[in-house]
Structure 1
Amino acid sequence: MKRKFRESKQRSFLSFRKWGRKNFSLFSTLHRVVKVSVLSVAYFGSTPVLSVAMSQDTSSVKMEYDLEEIEVSASRAPSVYSEIARVLTVIDTKSIEQGPATSVQELLEQVAAIDVRQRGAEGVQADISIRGGTFDQTLILLNGINITDPQTGHHNLNLPVSLSQIERIEVLKGPAARVYGPNAFSGAINIVTKQNAGKMLEAQVNAGSYKYFDSNLSAGFATGQMNHLLAGNYKSSDGYIDNTDFNSTNVFYSGNLSSAIGKLSAQAGYTDKGFGANSFYTPVYPDQYESTQTTFSSVRLESLTKFNLTPALYFRRHSDKFMLFRNESPDWYENHNFHRTDVKGASLNSWYLWKAGKTSVGAEFRSEKILSNVLGEEMPSFVKVPGEDAFYTKSKNRQIMSLFAEHIFYLNNFTLSTGIMGNHISDEKSEWNFFPGIDISYRLSSSLKAVASWNTSLRMPTFTDLYYSGRTNIGNPLLKPEKSKMLEGGIKMNSKFVNGHLVVFHSRGTNIIDWVKTESDDLWKSMNHTSIVNTGFELDMEFSHWKLLGVNRQGSIRLGYVYNNQDKMSGELISYYVLDNLKHKLVASLNQPVSGNLSFNINFTYQNREGTYTSYNNGSSGSETSYNPFWLVDTKLLYQRNNFKFYVTANNLFNKRYFDLGNIAQPGRWLKTGISYNLNFN
């Protein structure tokens, strides 16, 4: 049934036809009541892309999403404003179910702007970067809560959830300090779990090559007015080459309670991984091993008052044991590396809608602490490592304070959003630093919108950047934060047959942190070594090919391409991370229902990377080797009948040998099959 709303002088409402109850969105801070009426699904690689199209006059506001229904109401207030005039990709439930990805890392691989450099397959470990940035420059959120690891970005995707619990993933490209605070340097990724699943029970079992096994169990239930989701996952494999075996266990809970004063949301999770780390951190010693444990919890209240308030509290603990030698070790090897990081945070966001638009203010306090026998400063007394014959001998803590202010203004087809973040880091002798930004959009026609934005950000050094020293690395406790500025502009299209965008971007990063060395050095050194200018463009188009041919059938073809051209002043230094960005990335996909119950998905990915790496053979170094470009093909066949789903996937279908990181060979052809069963008691 259609329901219509009109805009009053005090509050704007958006007219749609179908209600959703989905929160924690990057878009969810428009704080309008939204229902979606146009639900055509667009695919980006294997992933639908959300195209936001806004037009407004003095009497109405309209918004159209090429996505399943999504609620755009009370969440972290600053989040939404920079989204309106910027490129943002959303991977929705349908693409997660129909695509060939079996981990978050593989799913993100299908976004052209994202560089996924996997060390271990199936979610073991991967470095995520956006538009030529580094893996420490991407902010990771779980249901809108910052879970970025202060020890190292290698641990950012140690998540307590599996794909079966994820509703969608939202990817914002470019600096976003005034939205999320520090470390949203080259972009941000928000992973949104399923909300208000109702009464349900879902079981899933998968098996495949290399003795791969994956099992999931999820249950949704209600107690009074509160909805709950409880899920568990276990995954293991013997590995695709020597010392690449792994096993992981996840447990996740989320709960939502609606009341007269607002909505209370809580979540908690635990993940435990153990894996062979063949050449992960140095090819000199390939027999490495690592185990990690992550505990995470948060609670947030979204008020329903006229002056909207959203307070939140969160906590994350991450423990890491790294063994340079998994089995026998030489006499000079003294001990394994042990680390534990504790992150505590509190935020308060608020917004108010008035005649001149919408004004938002907020604040966040974050405390980061590490205990380690490698990273930090010497402690006067040592702390026992639980369950190990070892002690934490070093520690370091820092506090980060961020203040936000932002305003969005509407006039006919024109929208302007501007804001600023003030930031203070306890480690820095300087006082406050400020990071402004502005986004502009203009509706050219019913299907075209011009967008432009200028934004700034910073990235704090990790504890590894600051303090790690070993046989191949030397840290630098005097590192300064990285800073960036980005200018972006382009066109968004949203029509019956074609959806997508074309944007160009130009960014400048200063004080960029990297591990570097000269050809004559044996040790990597951490330093603010260069300034980097990145210029490029991003194209993403989805074609409803059957509609273009006048045929009433489902299906879509997706094409995405990103070009990054980096200019840097690094002298004769060899870079371990920064100077080996993707210059070209092309993704294409076809998603096609074959019959009423059967569907077929195929993804193509092309990557061409800058830079070189030092090749190693049996622990001995060789020459500098360029990265070879490569094509990958992944495919999935899915059959659905009643409550059952049967599927077969083939990753790296043509068994291509390739490297995301030097000396770490990626899996060849990997075949998997699975079955899932869902009971819905609603």
Structure 2
Amino acid sequence: MSMEKFLCFLFLFLSGTTAMAQQTVRGQIIDERNNPLKGVVVSVKNTAISTQSDDMGYYSIAVPDSSSILVFSKIEYLKQEHQVNSSTLNITMSIADVFDLTLEELLQIKVVTASRSDIRMEKLPATTYIISQKEIISNNYFTLTDALKNIPEIKVSQPGSAECGNLFLMRGMVGNYYTKVLIDGIPITPSVVSGIAIDEHIYMKRAERIEIVYGPASAVYGADAISGIINIITLKPSKNTLDIETRAGSFGYFNANLLASYSIGKQKNSFDLIAYGQFTNRNDRNIKTGYDTIYDRKQYPLWDKNMMPFVLGNIPNQSASFGLKLSKSNFTVSYDWMYRSEFSSLGQRTDIQFYDDPKARITENTQRIAFQLKALIKDFTLSANLSVLHYRMDNNSYFSTIYSNKNPQTYGYVNRAYKYQASDDILFEEIVTWNPFKKIEMVGGITFQFSGAFPKTNDLEKPFNPKHYTPFSTEKPPLDTFYLDFGYNPIVYSNMAGFIQGIYSTDRFTLLCGTRYDVNSEYGSSFNPRIALQANVLEQTSLRASFNRAFKAPSPYYGYQSIASASSLYPGYVNYINVPNKDLGSEKLTSYEVGLRQLLTENVSVEVIGFHNHIFELISIKGGLLAHDFGYEETAHATDKVSIYSNDGGAEATIMGIGTILRIKDIIPSIKLSLDFYANYSKGKETFPSTMVITGDDTTIVNEKIDNRRMLPNWIGKARVYCYPAKNFYVALDNFICSHWYARQVHSLESYKNPNNKINGYYTMDVNLHYEVAKFLKVSLKVENIFDRKYAGIQAYDSYNLLYNPQPGRSLYAGLMLTF
């Protein structure tokens, strides 16, 4: 046989042998609800052989032999590996929790909050953080501030104030006032309040994930999106479940909650239901032991005016909520009822507030109904949102004070100062997304909000009758016999806005440009553009930069602030202290941000972020004004000087910061030992509102300045170490450290130099344990402040605060959850 014939025979023999060894594997890939999954990558492990599933989830792939391993992967789904045992292999894939993804996979997740359209995190020109449901459950997050406590550039105070519950600081600004909080993209802050109230009434376990976007976003969200956006994206049922949980803890803490999900049918014709409910009660807060000096009346100027002995009683707290979410195809309707009740003296000076009346509460009820509809018409995606937000402060809410509503003779004794406020907000949005070309996306929308509000009343001698307020009406309640109509300011106003945004994206960079124009019937118009760029300078290295303008709308809480009391000098006359200012305008901000992200391996990333914020025309108290200029000359015999909230005092602030984020997953793969480390350095400057200085016959107007930003520590460091030392057993250690800062109630150079207003930094550690005993049973243990540190939180208000806001000592919580 010639050599040519032999080689030809050998080639045909080997080819036939290979063909006989190869086999074709076919199958269908579905999700947990039996919906076909398109675009699943099916590959042979350790080879270049791959294919993708079609529209109906079917795939076909040739494998070398029966020992081959097939890998099934799709963004946002758990990766699976299966050995080829037959020619048919059907797969059911489960949605992956963000917490389980590698850092490389995390960058492939699409987020909607930053741009109001789906963009992968690796292409997003904004600093974004995601908190997943598994992270919420594993780390025993009871409140939104629990979750925010452990992410970059945020400092929390738990508790904060009666009016806002827990407080948080985000990029040097109080987040309750300067951050827009959304549920499924729709705002949930009532128009009449000073800021979003945070407690357990915002139920955390119903969140599929929480998207936090840092920096201004008024170009797409309008007012109040200054320090960032927090979007709570609620669950979509993947299977029928019922979770029942109970928790108990220190100082009489008790919580019971349930979450149910139910689904019928396949994707296009499915009917989905999510229902939840929760109740929480605290008999007392652990903020008394070790804080004797803070509660000592003699620390405060009016201590000798008190006619009653000081008693530090229980500081209770209560919350409840209930909700339903119904979905059918692209239509969703949801309902939420949220209730909270907080001890009203919380954080306030002991010389003017009593701490021994457990009935002294600020109690609020909020109801929300929202409708959402999505439709695809040719190349356009249309999204419509309609929500109704109904808010009422309970008319039995009151402060227990030393000053009287009408009778100066009771000054120094226990007096009840009743409060009431209410609002109704109807919001409609229509958002359109269009892709005219492969690399270009256009997003635009219109927004209309119609609001009726009854701003917080003056101190009342008895509870306000809610029947005297009619929603969306400016008719005033019956006159008070003493104050007449002072403190009764029902208003009706509207806000119209339009925004447009263009996104140009390639493999190497993303350019985002947009602007929004708002017209408000109360405070006028506002124009807010933004431009942002993200570029992949190397394969795993990206740079981003952005410029934004934003604004904070003046809440009726400030514009119609009304405080008056009975004159102690002129019996029967009114002493006006704070009066409404209908000309109050918006606060404004300009912001610059840069960021660098380096993905070192699939499980190691480093990020460096720098920002510069300038906020001006700050709303602040302006005093020494003539009462008759505001129409109060006829009855203000006790004094002719009043105060208002105003923008024209020249108050402004500059905040600069640089932060580092280091994340390492699976340091020890066998126990999934991981580390999240955050370090931030911030520096601020503030200019206080103008004050009048009289020297002899000369009068000058000055704006005092300080070389710091109140409430903002220069240094903040956080480190979370977590692992699974045994199967389904999760352990996390959360460490927080910060440097000193200056008190919120600093309003002058003199008070800035007062050593009592320089608040010490602190270090705390929390421990979280979570163990899945069985599929139907989970147990948890949470120890907050394990070293029992005594430290300060963010002060409750701008004035009349305790020297600092005491924070809880060591607290223990245990939980049990059943799943059916």
Q: Distance in 2 between matches of 1:221 and 1:38?
A: 19
Partner of 1:17: 73
Code of the residue aligned with 1:136 in structure 2: it is Y
The alignment status of 1:104 with 2:144, answered yes or no, reads yes
Distance 1:523-1:675 versus aligned 2 partners, 3 A rule: farther
Partner of 1:526: 645
The alignment status of 1:666 with 2:807, answered yes or no, reads yes
Q: Distance in 2 between matches of 1:359 and 1:228?
A: 33
Partner of 2:678: 560
Distance 1:318-1:583 versus aligned 2 partners, 3 A rule: farther
Q: Distance in 2 between matches of 1:578 and 1:378?
A: 41
Distance 1:486-1:392 versus aligned 2 partners, 3 A rule: closer
Can you list the C-alpha shifts for 1:559-606, whole angstroms capped at 9, x where unaligned? Answer: 01222211222266699x973234322111111111113221110111
List aligned pairs for 1:587-598, cutoff 5 A: 587-598=718-729
Distance 1:525-1:574 versus aligned 2 partners, 3 A rule: farther
Partner of 2:743: 612
The alignment status of 1:3 with 2:40, answered yes or no, reads yes
Q: Distance in 2 between matches of 1:297 and 1:218?
A: 19
Q: Distance in 2 between matches of 1:186 and 1:559?
A: 22
Distance 1:544-1:223 versus aligned 2 partners, 3 A rule: closer
How far the C-alpha of 1:497 sits from its partner, in A, is 3.4
Partner of 1:194: 235
How far the C-alpha of 1:158 sits from its partner, in A, is 6.1
Partner of 1:631: 763
Q: Distance in 2 between matches of 1:524 and 1:651?
A: 42
How far the C-alpha of 1:270 sits from its partner, in A, is 0.4
Can you list the C-alpha shifts for 1:374-418, whole angstroms capped at 9, x where unaligned? Answer: 27999544289xxxxx99932122211111111111234021111
The alignment status of 1:506 with 2:573, answered yes or no, reads no
* Contact 1:76–1:310 under 8 Å retained in 2: no
Partner of 2:498: 403
How far the C-alpha of 1:677 sits from its partner, in A, is 0.8
Which stretch of structure 1 is more off in the superposition, 564-573 or 186-195?
564-573
Distance 1:100-1:249 versus aligned 2 partners, 3 A rule: closer
How far the C-alpha of 1:39 sits from its partner, in A, is 7.6
How far the C-alpha of 1:555 sits from its partner, in A, is 2.2
Distance 1:338-1:665 versus aligned 2 partners, 3 A rule: same
Q: Counterpart of 1:461 in 2: which secondary structure? A: coil
Distance 1:391-1:336 versus aligned 2 partners, 3 A rule: farther
Can you list the C-alpha shifts for 1:294-316, whole angstroms capped at 9, x where unaligned? Answer: 10111111113321110110011
* Contact 1:600–1:635 under 8 Å retained in 2: yes
CA RMSD of aligned residues (A): 3.7
* Contact 1:138–1:184 under 8 Å retained in 2: yes
List aligned pairs for 1:114-125, cutoff 5 A: 114-119=154-159, 125=165
Q: Distance in 1 between matches of 2:113 and 2:711?
A: 40
Can you list the C-alpha shifts for 1:617-640, whole angstroms capped at 9, x where unaligned? Answer: xxxxx9743111111111112211
Code of the residue aligned with 1:641 in structure 2: it is V
How far the C-alpha of 1:3 sits from its partner, in A, is 2.5
Code of the residue aligned with 1:591 in structure 2: it is Y
Identity %: 18
List aligned pairs for 1:420-431, cutoff 5 A: 420-429=515-524
* Structure 2: gaps (5+ residues): 1-28, 30-38, 42-50, 53-71, 78-92, 289-312, 409-414, 459-468, 480-484, 565-576, 625-640, 689-701, 747-753, 796-801
* Contact 1:120–1:244 under 8 Å retained in 2: no
Partner of 1:264: 331
Partner of 1:351: 433
Can you list the C-alpha shifts for 1:104-138, whole angstroms capped at 9, x where unaligned? Answer: 21221112222323335999812334201233111
* Contact 2:687–2:703 under 8 Å retained in 1: no
Can you list the C-alpha shifts for 1:425-464, whole angstroms capped at 9, x where unaligned? Answer: 11235xx432111111111233211111111111101111
The alignment status of 1:226 with 2:308, answered yes or no, reads no
How far the C-alpha of 1:71 sits from its partner, in A, is 6.2
Distance 1:41-1:293 versus aligned 2 partners, 3 A rule: closer
Code of the residue aligned with 2:589 in structure 1: it is S
Partner of 1:93: 133
The alignment status of 1:460 with 2:460, answered yes or no, reads no
Partner of 2:446: 363
Partner of 1:491: 596
Rg (Cα) greater in structure: 2
Partner of 1:59: none
List aligned pairs for 1:321-336, cutoff 5 A: 321=394, 322-325=397-400, 331-332=407-408, 335-336=417-418
Distance 1:74-1:580 versus aligned 2 partners, 3 A rule: closer
TM-score by length of 1: 0.81
Which stretch of structure 1 is more off in the superposition, 302-311 or 225-234?
302-311
The alignment status of 1:150 with 2:179, answered yes or no, reads no
How far the C-alpha of 1:87 sits from its partner, in A, is 0.5
Q: Counterpart of 2:558 in 1: which secondary structure? A: helix
Of 317, 342, 353, the residue aligned with 1:246 is 317
Greater helix proportion: 2
Can you list the C-alpha shifts for 1:314-370, whole angstroms capped at 9, x where unaligned? Answer: 011111144111899774557511011111100000011122511111111112321
Distance 1:596-1:107 versus aligned 2 partners, 3 A rule: same
* Contact 1:129–1:186 under 8 Å retained in 2: no
Code of the residue aligned with 2:664 in structure 1: it is F
How many residue pairs align between the two structures?
616
Can you list the C-alpha shifts for 1:217-263, whole angstroms capped at 9, x where unaligned? Answer: 111113562100111100001112434201211101112211xxxx1
Partner of 1:184: 225
Q: Counterpart of 2:808 in 1: which secondary structure? A: coil
Q: Counterpart of 2:423 in 1: which secondary structure? A: strand
Q: Distance in 2 between matches of 1:476 and 1:257?
A: 47
Q: Counterpart of 1:172 in 2: which secondary structure? A: strand
Q: Counterpart of 2:489 in 1: which secondary structure? A: strand
Q: Distance in 2 between matches of 1:486 and 1:74?
A: 19
* Contact 1:18–1:36 under 8 Å retained in 2: no
* Contact 1:443–1:449 under 8 Å retained in 2: yes
Q: Distance in 1 between matches of 2:154 and 2:621?
A: 21
The alignment status of 1:320 with 2:361, answered yes or no, reads no
* Contact 2:114–2:126 under 8 Å retained in 1: no
Q: Distance in 1 between matches of 2:346 and 2:162?
A: 17
* Contact 1:474–1:525 under 8 Å retained in 2: yes
Q: Distance in 2 between matches of 1:426 and 1:115?
A: 35
Of 658, 661, 665, the residue aligned with 1:537 is 658
Of 456, 466, 477, the residue aligned with 2:582 is 477
List aligned pairs for 1:27-42, cutoff 5 A: 41=99
Can you list the C-alpha shifts for 1:471-490, whole angstroms capped at 9, x where unaligned? Answer: 67565432210111111112
Distance 1:625-1:122 versus aligned 2 partners, 3 A rule: closer
Q: Distance in 1 between matches of 2:275 and 2:98?
A: 31
* Structure 1: gaps (5+ residues): 7-15, 22-34, 43-47, 54-63, 385-389, 616-621
Code of the residue aligned with 1:313 in structure 2: it is L
How far the C-alpha of 1:151 sits from its partner, in A, is 2.3
Partner of 1:57: none
How far the C-alpha of 1:148 sits from its partner, in A, is 2.3
Code of the residue aligned with 1:504 in structure 2: it is G
* Contact 2:167–2:794 under 8 Å retained in 1: no
Partner of 1:436: 529
Q: Distance in 2 between matches of 1:37 and 1:478?
A: 51
Distance 1:487-1:623 versus aligned 2 partners, 3 A rule: closer
TM-score by length of 2: 0.68
The alignment status of 1:296 with 2:368, answered yes or no, reads yes
